[in-house]
Amino acid sequence: MGIRGADDAGVYRIGESCALVQTTDIITPLVDEPFTFGRIAAANAISDVYAMGGRPVTAMNLLFAPSCLAAGVLAEILRGGSSVMAEAGVCLVGGHTVEDDELKYGLAVTGLIEPEKIIRNNTPQPGDRLILTKPLGTGIISTALKGELADERALAAAIKWMTTLNRQAAELMVELGANAATDITGFGLIGHACEMAADGVTLVLQLAAVPLMDSVPELVAMGMIPAGCYRNRDYYSSFMDASGVDPDSLMPLFDPQTSGGMLIALPEAESRAFLEKAAASGLSAVEIGAVVRRREKAVVIC
């Protein structure tokens, strides 16, 4: 699996029962604290391996920074990234630094997977239930932070979710045999749902069931909407049917996420088991819709 598809990571078979999962991701700072920025960037980069059902094993740092930035700041960013790699069981094996006008940090990550256990993002089946494992709103809260309008509660919630690994959700979906999965990142929930809606299926999402982070509806009402949210709306609106739905209430669904949760398609019985096991282990998981046979649009919002 490679550049011809829209999967979350590339996969290369190296043996009968083993394949490499490879991905990379780099972001600019969403918060002021260097250590926290490093944690967010690392969790975000590792997520695509989890989205394929893989186990991340090695990573390489990718750091771009202005020459005027203090070495101590860069060290804190790398320390933050290393702390998340340790949580994920990932071994740091090297990296590269580049002098650049804008600070950026991320990882190139390699994982392992059994070829028959690969979970693609475009293979849901009619009758599947859709589970989302993190609330939405990181882009909106980050925009409010830049405008100095995000309160401490909203910022703390966003940091908590952005630094939470998708490891537990990935292990559970593999155990239960998910039909499809993806992580919610730059294209927002709607964009990634459109990718998941392969030929022959439509994703029906229940707007009231979609979880949002603290303060997100209030921030949307204040106009704290990132440019990426508008770009996602302008592009993906033609692929969805949201007749009768208040347009403002849809904005969080277009919000570009950093280190977002997993959108997982499971058969009905397995989805109930996922929700039960998630509740027992403290994993966030909410059923937000279902997969049906193809309708006129790829995604329907009710």
**Which of 186, 182, 220, 217 lies closest to 203 in space, CA to CA?**
182
**pLDDT (tens digit per residue) in 225-238:** 999 999 999 999 99
pLDDT of residue 175: 97
Which residue type is seen at 286?
A: V
pLDDT of residue 214: 87
Which residues 6+ apart lie within 8 Å of 89 measured at CB?
Answer: 55, 56, 57
Region 162-167: what's the mean pLDDT? 98
Neighbours of 140 (CB within 10 A): 30
- Give CATH for domain 129-301: 3.90.650.10
Say what percent of the chain tops pLDDT 90: 93
Region 148-163: what's the mean pLDDT? 92
Per-residue pLDDT band for 5 (boundaries 50, 70, 90) equals confident
Report in angstroms the alpha-carbon separations of 245 from 43, 51, 153, 249.
Answer: 33, 30, 29, 8
Per-residue pLDDT band for 56 (boundaries 50, 70, 90) equals very high
What is the token pair recorded at 151?
């309160």
pLDDT of residue 150: 84
Q: Is the dihedral of CA 286, 144, 194, 248 positive or negative?
A: positive
Per-residue pLDDT band for 102 (boundaries 50, 70, 90) equals very high
> Domain segments of the chain: what residues?
10-117, 129-301
Residue 128 has pLDDT above 90, yes or no: yes
Region 153-159: what's the mean pLDDT? 93
Tell me the Cα Rg of the chain: 19
Fold of 10-117: 60s Ribosomal Protein L30; Chain: A; (3.30.1330)
Query: In three state form, how does the secondary structure of the chain look?
Result: CCCCCCCCCEEEEEECCEEEEEEEEEECCCCCCHHHHHHHHHHHHHHHHHHCCCEEEEEEEEEEECCCCCHHHHHHHHHHHHHHHHHHCCEEEEEEEEECCCCEEEEEEEEEECHHHCCCCCCCCCCCEEEECCCECHHHHHHHHHCCCCCHHHHHHHHHHHCCCCHHHHHHHHHHCCCEEEECCCCHHHHHHHHHCCCCEEEEECHHHCCECCCHHHHHHCCCCCHHHHHHHHHHHHHEECCCCCHHHHHHHHCCCCCCCEEEEECHHHHHHHHHHHHHHCCCCEEEEEEEECCCCCEEEC
Residue 198 has pLDDT above 90, yes or no: no
pLDDT of residue 148: 85
Residue 119 has pLDDT above 80, yes or no: yes
Mean pLDDT rounded to a whole number for the chain: 96
Give dist(CA 193, CA 48) in Å, integer. Answer: 16
Residue 203 has pLDDT above 90, yes or no: yes
Model-level pTM greater than 0.85? yes
**pLDDT (tens digit per residue) in 268-297:** 999 999 999 999 999 999 999 999 999 999
pLDDT of residue 78: 98
Residue 199 has pLDDT above 80, yes or no: no
Residue 43 has pLDDT above 90, yes or no: yes
pLDDT of residue 185: 96
Residue 19 has pLDDT above 90, yes or no: yes
Neighbours of 225 (CB within 10 A): 20
Region 186-194: what's the mean pLDDT? 97
In sequence order, the β-bridge partners of residue 99 are 65
Residue 101 has pLDDT above 90, yes or no: yes
pLDDT of residue 1: 87
Give dist(CA 259, CA 163) in Å, integer. Answer: 7
Residue 3 has pLDDT above 90, yes or no: no
Which residue type is seen at 141?
A: I
pLDDT of residue 200: 87
